[in-house]
Each structure stands twice: as structure tokens, then as C-alpha cells.
Structure 1
Amino acid sequence: MADAERSEGTATTTATDPETAAFDYDVAIVGGGPTGCSAGVFTGRYGLDTVVFDRGRSSLQRCAYLENYLGFPGGVDVETFYGLIHDHVEAAGCDLVPALVEAVEPAGGDGTETADAAGPGFEVTTQDGETVTARRVVAAARYGGDFLEPLDDDEMFVTYEYDGETRTKFDRDYADIEGRTAIDGLYVAAPVSEVNVQAIMSAGQGARVGRSVITDHRLERGYPEALAHHWDWIRPESELAGEETARDDWRERFDSRVPDDCDLAEERLRELREADVERQREMYISEEAVEARAERGRERLADHLGVAADSGPAADSASDSE
């Protein structure tokens, strides 16, 4: 649950952000397949309080076996794959809720804002009657979209003829390629035309939309547009020529990208710059940390496969040579 503003890209918190204080979550994702989980990994790792709802119809769960997802040369059974992606979203800090979302509507149910400075926000209600609020919602369920009907946007649905009847379905072209829609705070990662036809493409679109959410969050926090985009990667500490030199370089680079017409107060701009410098510093980790993370990664994977973490080709080779 959201409890305070997170320093941009860090786990440091304060209790001064009305956006976060006004809602249960920063982000609610409807759909716990590859699309929704991928979006959640990005928003969760950034530090946005994220909930992923997973209990709807899934096209992937109708598959017998998954053979074209990169990184599994022998393929992977769907149950194991789901276990891995759900484990990943929780490791990223997201809440994973096994509940079917029945409705997404404006916060308050009448279009009123939850808090003066918080933006409109949403109420997300599950089939069992539980409701949470979120500043932003990501639709990531390939089938359906009926849960968005309470938002009352005629452009969201289109009519079509089927067996002599006029029916309504969600417009797969409603969102732009970045997932943004005409409704502030609403994003669609699925269904999207020609995108959600393969699991790996769906995961890529989820990541794209997750980054859009982060960008918009940063814009709302005051980052100039040229500095609002976020990259999530880990680099070796050995690449740093020197920590203080690197920090000075990052500060200089930040300042060089601030537009001349930026109207932010100097103090706020400095706060954003230092938060951004700290975020960049956290991208660099020591050789020991790399090894520890690699070991942790093998152990987590082994847990899902039901094998020892030190088993595999390398271990087999060592065993054969004895």
C-alpha cells in the first residue's frame, strides 16, 4: 500500500506527497499475465506502489506449452512460466492479488477528485466486493475490457455485427502505442491491435506501458520532459571512473538538459537533480554484488524447477571430470 512519496528511484520515503497519501496504490494493474506482470516489474522496481490483479481469462493459460519465449530453449510449461512471472512481480515489490476485477471507475464514483492535488484517480472493485483506489490504472487483460465501462467513454468501445446481432467490444486501437488514453491516468497494455498475439510481444508492450507510467509520474513530480524518461539497468561499478567525478558529471548532464523556459523553483530543481543522481548511482554495483545477485537468481530459478541451484551443464561437467 502507498504510505508516502518515494524519493525518485529510491526506497527513501517522506510523508509529504498528497498524490501517494490520497490513494491505496500508485498503480493498479488489471491482468496478471505476461503483459501486466511486465508492466508491474518496471513500476514496482522504480518504487511505485503497485498492485496486480490476476484472475481473469488468459489466452496463455489456454496454451498447451510455451516454446517461443526467449530464454527457454526447450520451452517451458505454462504453470512454471506463470509461477516465474508472478514470483518476479512480487520480488519487484508489487502486491499480487488473485481476484477478478469487476469495475474500474473514477475515484469517488462520481468523477470527483480524491484529494485536491492528487489528480482524479480510480476505484478498482473486485468481484468479491473489495475496493482499492489508485492514481493510475493499467488495463492488461487481453480478453474483455468490460470492467472499464463505468468510466463512460463512448470512444472506448465499438459495435459490430455477429450472427445477426449488434454487439459491443473494446476498441483495440483506443490507446496509443505507449499505452496512454484520453482519460488521465488510464493506460491500456492489452488488448492492443496486433500486439498481444504472442506472449513475448505482450511482455514487451507491458514494459513499454510500465515505462510510460513512470514517465508520467516523473512529469507530475516536476521533471522537465527531457528528463522524465526512465531506464532500468544494472552496470558494473568498475565502469565508474570515480564516484564524485561521476556524480558531478551526472549533475552537469542533468543541468544541460533542463530547458531554458523551465519554471521550476531552483530548490525543487536541485532536489530532482540530486534524486536523479542518486538513482543513477544505484545502477552501479560491485563485483561482489553481481556475484551475489547471480547466485540469488539461480536459486530462485532452481526453486521453480525443483532442482538444486548448482545443478546444470557446468555442474554436470565438473561431476563427469571427477
Structure 2
Amino acid sequence: MSDRGRGGPTDGDAGQGAGSGSEATDYDRDVVVVGGGPAGCSAGVFTARDGLDTVVFDRGRSSIQRCAYLENYLGFPGGVDIETLYGLMHDHAEAAGCDVVADVVESVERADEGGPGGFVVHLGEGDPVTARRVVAATRYDGEYMRGLDDDDAMFETHDHGDETHEQFDTAYADDDGTTPVEGLYVASPSAEANRQAVMAAGRGARVAVTLVEAVRRERGYPEALANHYDWRRREAELSGEWADRDRWREYVDGRIPDDADLDDDRRVELRERAIDRRFDQYLDDDEVDRRTRAGHERLLEHVDDDAIVAAAREIEAERGTTPAESAGGGE
């Protein structure tokens, strides 16, 4: 795969502790995402972009692959075939900083009692992986979570004809994906994510944002500074008093409660990080143009070559140019 336009994590600091670096110093990974469909890839994009060492395990049988074609996934007015969408999702997750690994998660168990917490993730082919947090993102299969909590709490039974079946309870997790098991988040199976692919992607993002904010709170961030925003704005919008770093210091200081359990050095450190994040959101026009072009080129990697050639010929015909002239080679 080409590196053209390849992005990377933002300057987020969920993966940065109070001088201790990433959580992955105690674990193989900060976050393990189980499932490489819309919910899992979306969750991975958000956690990796905020600096958390994230791996997505994809067994290669996402429920979305049962579809022949999608016509209601936002951003594709002509619809999109599943192979193309699957490739785009995995490419996006990798560009954000995730490792996408083709392997099945057989089971997840708690790490040693009395230790720092976390999980041991057992794979079908690879060696076990330890992680501080796990995001479940598989539509149908929750069996690998069995044993993390009481079975009666995690699973429900239902009758199908003359047979009784047991399945993961889609109401087990809260709306934000949190569960009674510390560090375990569920994007799917869920009643919300299971309905449509685009809803699954939104659910994955929501759960990941919850996770990122939880990491920040654990690192001592006051609630007002733990909020997660990942967007980019034009530098021209950064004007007036808000272009002044001292104005931002005044604003952030006003949002940190006086009774926050922070010494002066830590308070200043968190304030300056929060301001850095805000200034990093702004891009000048040249950088916006560069990223736009790189994004278009990246999309073309997933479009059939014959379709690109046919579209180029149509454009040339409309412009009344030859291929050489379009490339700047005309006389």
C-alpha cells in the first residue's frame, strides 16, 4: 500500500501519563479492539489518533460482509460495494495509527489478580496479548467475553423453535459503552449498533470517545479538560483575542476547579497541554490544500483503475484537452 497522504495520530495526550508515557509500558497494548467492521475500525481510529497504542483484531468475517451492497452509508451517493468499504475502513484505521491484524480472538480474561488490572487476550493463531482496555465490536459473537462477569448478567437465553439458545445481552453495556467490568467497553453487540452499518460506526466512535475521556480522568485531568474533540479548523478562524495564548490560559484556568487535586506544576502542565491541543486544531491554507490533495489520492487507491481512466477521459472530453495536455505536456 502506498504511503501517499498517510496520516497519523493527533497530538492528543490520552496516551501520556503524568510523566510515565504510554500505558503500553505495563501492557503489550493500551487498547485491543475485537472486530474489524464499522464499529471496531471507527473505535480504533479515535483511540489511536489520541495516542493510545491500539490493535484491531479482525477475524475476516465481519457481519457487514453478508451484505451485497450498501446504499445508505453516508458519503457514498452512488452506494459502495463491501470490498471497497472494508478496504477503506482498514486503511483509515492503519492511517490513524492502529495495527490491523487478521486473527480471531478466542477469549479475553482478566490479568492477574492484585496486578495493575487489564486483560489477557487469547488469539486463534498469535501469542496472547495483554491490554489495559478492551473494546468489543463484534455484532454476533460475544462468547469470547464469557467469564469476565457473571454469565447471568452478560448473557440471555431465548427460545428458537424447540431449542433454547444463549447469546450476549445487547443491553449489558451502558449507552456510552461502559460495563460493570473495569476497562471493558462494548460497541457491539448492542441494540443500537446492530441495526445499520453507519449506526455501528457511530457507536464505535462514541464508545472510543468515552474510553479516551476515561483515560484522561485517570491521569488526573479535571472533568472540564478531559473532554475529547478531534477536528481541524482553518487558521483564519484563530483571530482576535483567541489568537493570544494568555487569553487561553485565562480561559482554561477558569475551568479548573479550585478544589482540583493538582499541585501547581501539574495544573500548569495540564493547562498548557490543553492549550496546545486547541492550537494544533488550526491549519493554514497550504496545509489544508496539501491534506485535501493527499486525501483524494488516498481515495483513488481504492477505486478501480478502469473507472479512473474512464473518468479521466470524460473530464478531458469536457475540457477539450488531450491526455498529454492535461498532464502539462502539450505544446
Whether these two folds match at TM > 0.5 is yes
| Separation of aligned partners in 1, 2:215 and 2:36 | 22
**Aligned residue in 2 for 1:176:** 174
CA RMSD of aligned residues (A): 2.6
Unmatched 5+ residue regions in structure 2? 1-9, 321-331
**Aligned residue in 1 for 2:261:** 263
> Once the 2 structures are TM-superposed, how far is the Cα of residue 164 of structure 1 from its aligned partner?
3.4
**Aligned residue in 1 for 2:218:** 220
> Once the 2 structures are TM-superposed, how far is the Cα of residue 309 of structure 1 from its aligned partner?
11
> Once the 2 structures are TM-superposed, how far is the Cα of residue 261 of structure 1 from its aligned partner?
2.1
Q: What letter is aligned with 1:140? A: A
> Once the 2 structures are TM-superposed, how far is the Cα of residue 191 of structure 1 from its aligned partner?
0.8
- Per-residue CA shift, 1:273-305, capped at 9, x if unaligned? 111111111111111110110111111100110
Contact 2:39 / 2:202 at 8 angstroms: preserved in 1? yes
> Once the 2 structures are TM-superposed, how far is the Cα of residue 13 of structure 1 from its aligned partner?
9.6
| Separation of aligned partners in 2, 1:81 and 1:236 | 29
1:82 to 86, 100, 104: 86
| Separation of aligned partners in 2, 1:313 and 1:248 | 51
For normalisation by structure 2, the TM-score amounts to 0.86
> Once the 2 structures are TM-superposed, how far is the Cα of residue 15 of structure 1 from its aligned partner?
7.0
> Once the 2 structures are TM-superposed, how far is the Cα of residue 163 of structure 1 from its aligned partner?
3.4
1:237 to 227, 235, 238: 235
Listed as ranges, the matches of 1:271-310 within 5 Å are 271-307=269-305
Contact 1:58 / 1:143 at 8 angstroms: preserved in 2? no
| Separation of aligned partners in 2, 1:11 and 1:188 | 20
Contact 2:30 / 2:52 at 8 angstroms: preserved in 1? yes
> Once the 2 structures are TM-superposed, how far is the Cα of residue 85 of structure 1 from its aligned partner?
0.4
> Once the 2 structures are TM-superposed, how far is the Cα of residue 258 of structure 1 from its aligned partner?
1.1
1:34 to 29, 35, 38: 38
> Once the 2 structures are TM-superposed, how far is the Cα of residue 245 of structure 1 from its aligned partner?
3.7
Contact 1:26 / 1:49 at 8 angstroms: preserved in 2? yes
| Separation of aligned partners in 2, 1:232 and 1:199 | 22
For normalisation by structure 1, the TM-score amounts to 0.88
> Once the 2 structures are TM-superposed, how far is the Cα of residue 18 of structure 1 from its aligned partner?
7.5
| Separation of aligned partners in 2, 1:311 and 1:284 | 36
Q: What letter is aligned with 1:145? A: G
Q: What letter is aligned with 1:131? A: P
| Separation of aligned partners in 2, 1:148 and 1:41 | 23
Unmatched 5+ residue regions in structure 1? 1-5
Instruction: Report the structure number with the largest CA radius of gyration.
Output: 2
